[in-house]
Amino acid sequence: KVAEGDLLKIEKLEGAVGDSVEFPEVLLVGGDDVKVGTPLVDKARVKAQ
């Protein structure tokens, strides 16, 4: 589970530390209204820095 403010170390991701990156393929969205993709959650994206 990933939450806002978490630090992830991901191999082979292009860019420098502090650059913005977007993950357009999301398999599951948690919270009060959990959404499970089939296989992906429609219109869900994760934006990170």
**What H or E segment, with its residue span, contains residue 28?**
strand 28-29
Instruction: Decide if pLDDT at 4 tops 90.
Output: no
pTM: 0.63
Phi, psi of 40 (to 5 degrees): -110, 155
Quote the pLDDT of residue 38: 95
State CA 34 to chain mean position distance: 15
What pLDDT does 48 receive?
87
Tens-place pLDDT, residues 8-44? 888 888 889 889 999 999 999 998 999 999 999 999 9
Q: How far is 28 from 41, CA to CA, in rounded Å? A: 6
Residue 2 confidence (pLDDT): 82
The C-alpha atoms of residue 25 and residue 37 are separated, in whole angstroms, by 10
